[in-house]
Structure 1
Amino acid sequence: NFKGNYPEFADAGYRNIVLDLPGFGRSDKPDDVNYDLAFFVTALNGFINALDLPKVTLLGNSLGGAIALGQALDYPDTVERLILMAPGGVEERETYFQMEGIVRMVEVYSRGPMGVDQMREVMSLQLFDSAVLSDDILAERAAVAVTQPANLFSTMMVPNMTERLGELNCPVLGFWGTNDKFNPHQGMHKILNNVPTARFIMLNRCGHWVQVEHQRLFNSSCIDFLQHG
């Protein structure tokens, strides 16, 4: 999802670490763990410590946004800034599972590992304009999907962190699309109302992947945020 973003951040002089979470991509995929927020935050914090990183800017979309929030809340000394795109973790689980995109994802995933056609069925809902979905992207994702553990989504529990948002004291830049079918964009107001250091960019004609559909605006806004706070 970030192939059109991190090269520009690198060109601007920033080190980029693009992380595959456990259960995803080419990372380990244990089938005997609960893939809940605490598991992912523990993995991320361990990763930061193992590389002995200084304070980091965490950039996260959806589940990644929830994990970034969890890291900043539980280990504030590790986080300098947050960049969030339609982050999870600010609604009750029931709210997310009423969203069209998640309903479809669960339905398709319950049939077994997603092939290219099934991947297109789900991923087309991630975008306002699905024309940007190439066969190469779909094939790449389908190849990973067959390796994912069966309990990945069934154990994915992310608590509603709205009541803890006031604990955040780092600058936050957020993005949300009004056509998001996975995370309700009203969550933006929960962050803005509770985090004085937060600001958001709301975009129409945009789904769940701001960084893909509005790549130029996203990249320039993030670089400005990194340079000027």
Structure 2
Amino acid sequence: MTNKETLPGLTSRTVQVGRRQIFISEMGTGHPLLMLHGGGAGASGLSNYSQNIEKLAERFRVIVADMPGYGRSTKGVDRKDPFGDLAGAMLGLLDALNISSAHLVGNSLGGACALRMALEAPARVSALVLMGPGGVNTTRSLPTPGLKLLLDYYSGEGPTLEKITRFIRQYLVYDGSKVSDAMIQERYQASIDPQVVAAPPLRKPQGIPNLRKWDFTRDPRLTQCQVPTLVLWGSEDKVNRPNGAEALRNRMPDCSVYLFSKTGHWVQWERAEEFNAVTAAFLSCRALR
């Protein structure tokens, strides 16, 4: 695996966005490409995209952010509207970087953030690549076992190495044997940061949550969203159901779908070479708006 901290040409810094500090890493030149990570315990931008940054930076100005609540960014997310809070923060990041329009790549929670950005400010988003995004068909069936485990991580006895190992090896990827102990230990240590434990960005809601307002398939703006979109989904995703891909394709005016066989929730890691090629080709063919 690529050492994410020593990529040639990678620079990192913290950017002030409103009341928050957002940690970003950058590499490459060209049209801006903002990459948004998933919401699993211990997630961060660089760890999420360690196998993708260098290749995509050959064509784009790649910007990898730690979203609020994660990594080295300010902790705390509005649990009443997490997608909206994250989207507002990332649009604020584009403002702080003087970027008028960017391609967005988002995995899971990052995919939900990217899609919300496209609905809130379509002129700011030149193209979307979504990998197993959250918030699709959330009200049509019970949460998946993987999503339940993700939301329960900070409940009960709290975070443990056993919990995160089970989530990553059994639910995040198709073949858990490919995940190293070192990678799991890194995620675990990040997940027990005292600031994160005090304000987990994702956890089981108290009472009966109103999931309707978080379900993109119920948002009337979705059918009017003209942003060119590529949806990538693992056929064996145990966190967000793969039928979400077809739900988006049926509703979005310019949406293509690529389903990866024998792949779980972490497409960009499990199928890195193929993901890099498909993503670069799709984004390179999109006219900049």
Normalising by structure 1, report the TM-score. 0.91
Question: What's the offset of the Cα at 1:122?
Answer: 1.0
Alpha-carbon distance between aligned partners in 2 of 1:103 and 1:94, rounded to the nearest angstrom: 15
The answer as to 2:285 corresponding to 1:228 is yes
**Which structure is higher in helix share?**
1
Q: Which runs of 5+ in 1 are unaligned?
A: none
Structure 1 residues 72 and 4: CA distance shift in structure 2, 3 A: same
The equivalent residue for 1:4 is 51
Structure 1 residues 225 and 40: CA distance shift in structure 2, 3 A: same
Percent pairwise identity: 31
Alpha-carbon distance between aligned partners in 1 of 2:153 and 2:60, rounded to the nearest angstrom: 38
Does structure 1 retain, via aligned residues, the 8 Å contact 2:130–2:231? yes
Alpha-carbon distance between aligned partners in 1 of 2:184 and 2:140, rounded to the nearest angstrom: 28
The answer as to 2:146 corresponding to 1:101 is yes
2:266 to 204, 209, 212: 209
Question: What's the offset of the Cα at 1:112?
Answer: 4.5
Q: What secondary structure does 2:126 align onto?
A: strand
Structure number with higher relative contact order (C-alpha < 8 Å, ≥ 6 residues apart): 1
Normalising by structure 2, report the TM-score. 0.73
Does structure 2 retain, via aligned residues, the 8 Å contact 1:25–1:144? yes
Q: What secondary structure does 1:180 align onto?
A: coil
The answer as to 2:215 corresponding to 1:160 is yes
Does structure 2 retain, via aligned residues, the 8 Å contact 1:113–1:146? no
Alpha-carbon distance between aligned partners in 1 of 2:152 and 2:119, rounded to the nearest angstrom: 33
Per-residue CA deviation, residues 189-219 of structure 1 (Å, 9 max, x unaligned), is 1111112311111112110011111111111
Per-residue CA deviation, residues 164-202 of structure 1 (Å, 9 max, x unaligned), is 311211111111111111111111111111123111111
Question: What's the offset of the Cα at 1:106?
Answer: 3.1
Q: What secondary structure does 1:16 align onto?
A: strand
Q: What secondary structure does 2:162 align onto?
A: helix
Alpha-carbon distance between aligned partners in 1 of 2:166 and 2:95, rounded to the nearest angstrom: 38
Q: Which runs of 5+ in 2 are unaligned?
A: 1-47
The equivalent residue for 1:170 is 227
Question: What's the offset of the Cα at 1:94?
Answer: 7.0
Alpha-carbon distance between aligned partners in 1 of 2:260 and 2:172, rounded to the nearest angstrom: 14
The answer as to 2:71 corresponding to 1:25 is yes
**Which structure is higher in strand share?**
2
The more displaced of 154-163 and 200-209 is 154-163
Alpha-carbon distance between aligned partners in 2 of 1:64 and 1:108, rounded to the nearest angstrom: 19
Q: What secondary structure does 1:173 align onto?
A: strand
Question: What's the offset of the Cα at 1:101?
Answer: 0.4
Alpha-carbon distance between aligned partners in 2 of 1:153 and 1:196, rounded to the nearest angstrom: 31
The equivalent residue for 2:33 is none
1:74 to 101, 120, 123: 120
The equivalent residue for 2:161 is 116
Does structure 1 retain, via aligned residues, the 8 Å contact 2:126–2:227? yes
Aligned ranges for residues 39-58 of structure 1 at < 5 Å? Answer: 39-58=85-104
Does structure 1 retain, via aligned residues, the 8 Å contact 2:231–2:255? yes
Question: What's the offset of the Cα at 1:151?
Answer: 4.5
Per-residue CA deviation, residues 76-100 of structure 1 (Å, 9 max, x unaligned), is 11100000001112222574x5201
The one-letter amino acid paired with 2:222 is L
Alpha-carbon distance between aligned partners in 2 of 1:94 and 1:112, rounded to the nearest angstrom: 30
The equivalent residue for 1:131 is 177
Does structure 2 retain, via aligned residues, the 8 Å contact 1:178–1:204? yes
Alpha-carbon distance between aligned partners in 1 of 2:136 and 2:119, rounded to the nearest angstrom: 13
Alpha-carbon distance between aligned partners in 1 of 2:282 and 2:161, rounded to the nearest angstrom: 37
Alpha-carbon distance between aligned partners in 1 of 2:100 and 2:264, rounded to the nearest angstrom: 33
Alpha-carbon distance between aligned partners in 2 of 1:185 and 1:19, rounded to the nearest angstrom: 26
Alpha-carbon distance between aligned partners in 1 of 2:175 and 2:117, rounded to the nearest angstrom: 32
Aligned residues: 226
Alpha-carbon distance between aligned partners in 2 of 1:113 and 1:51, rounded to the nearest angstrom: 37
